[in-house]
Amino acid sequence: MDAKIKPIRGTKPADGRPEFQPAELDPSEFLEVAVQPDQPRPSRAEAEAAVKTLLSYIGENTEREGLLDTPRRVVEAYDELFQGYHQCPKEVLERTFGETAGYDDFVLVRNISFTSHCEHHVMPFYGKAHIAYTPVERVVGLSKLARLVDIFGRRLQTQEHLTAQIAAAIDEVLKPRGVAVLIEAEHTCMSVRGIAKKGATTFTSRYTGVFRDNPAEQARFMSMVRDRG
């Protein structure tokens, strides 16, 4: 999905020098359900026919016993793997809680497992997401952060876009003092095809607010993510 970008909100440096403004996704592009009820879409029969065409393209006999139900199974798998197009990220984050007893440090949820699919080859990439945010008065349920990762992950993605979407959604809906997102993943489009380098891991990160403006907060976030004790 293409998305517009806009300047990220932040503070002006005290020395008055021009501040670098990293790009931010426009929330209107991704905070709502991606597929609208009235959006034209192929029928299920057309989708299954497309799978059959691909099987024929690679040289398979689509009438042999082992492949008779494959088109149906593939479409059913797509319904599950890409259900994020039908889910609303904003709704996941909007239910918050105010019983924080004045808590003013960041909240970190690390090691959120996920699987997504590369938009270039429609091949899986998988790994872990680590998310922190510094709340202002109200907090969101911890499971909602994991749910947010799943919603964006169950769409065709690049890892960079996935990282930016997660950070921007939290920043826009919760309006915290800052957000930090780190994603580490292995891409099968790199490990099982092409250069075929199994085990190569890609890291992407995104910081807003106090995490972007304060290197000490970034370092503390990374230290807690890496602390295996």
Which of 21, 120, 137, 160 is an active site residue? 120
Assess whether 189 carries a catalytic annotation.
yes
Q: Catalytic annotation on 160? A: no
3: buried, middle or exposed (CB in 10 Å: 19+, 13-18, 0-12)? middle
Decide if 88 is catalytic. Answer: no
Cα gap 212→166, rounded to integer Å: 15
The whole-angstrom separation of Cα 204 and Cα 223 is 16
User: What crossing angle do the helices spanning 70-81 and 44-57 adopt, rounded to 10°?
Assistant: 110
Distance from C-alpha of 203 to C-alpha of 130, rounded to nearest angstrom: 11
Pick the catalytic residue: 118, 130, 157, 217? Answer: 118
Residue 86: active-site member: no
Interatomic CA distance for residues 71 and 225, integer angstroms: 42
User: Which one is predicted more confidently, 168 or 5?
Assistant: 168
Please give the model's pTM, rounded to 2 decimal places.
0.87
pLDDT at residue number 99: 82
Which of these is catalytic: 29, 86, 88, 121? Answer: 121
What's the pLDDT tens digit per position in 146-178?
Answer: 999 999 999 999 999 999 999 999 999 999 999
Check residues 9 and 171 and name the one with the higher pLDDT. 171
Average pLDDT of the residues of the chain: 90
Q: What is the DSSP string of 104-164?
A: -S-EEEEEEEEEEEETTT--EEEEEEEEEEE-BSBEE-HHHHHHHHHHHHTSEE-HHHHHH
- The stretches of the chain forming alpha helices (DSSP H) are 44-57, 70-81, 89-94, 142-153, 159-174, 188-191, 209-213, 215-226
Give residue 162's pLDDT.
97
Q: Which of 117, 130, 161, 187 is catalytic?
A: 187
Is-catalytic flag, 119? Answer: yes
Amino acid at 74: V
- Domains of the chain, residue spans: 44-81, 96-226
CATH class of 96-226: alpha beta
- The pLDDT-based confidence of 223 (bands split at 50, 70, 90) is very high
Residue of 159, 165, 172, 217 marked active site: 159
Q: What digits encode the pLDDT tens for the residues 10-37?
A: 445 555 555 555 556 677 678 889 988 8
**Catalytic position from the list 94, 119, 137, 160:** 119
Predicted confidence at residue 36, as pLDDT, reads: 83
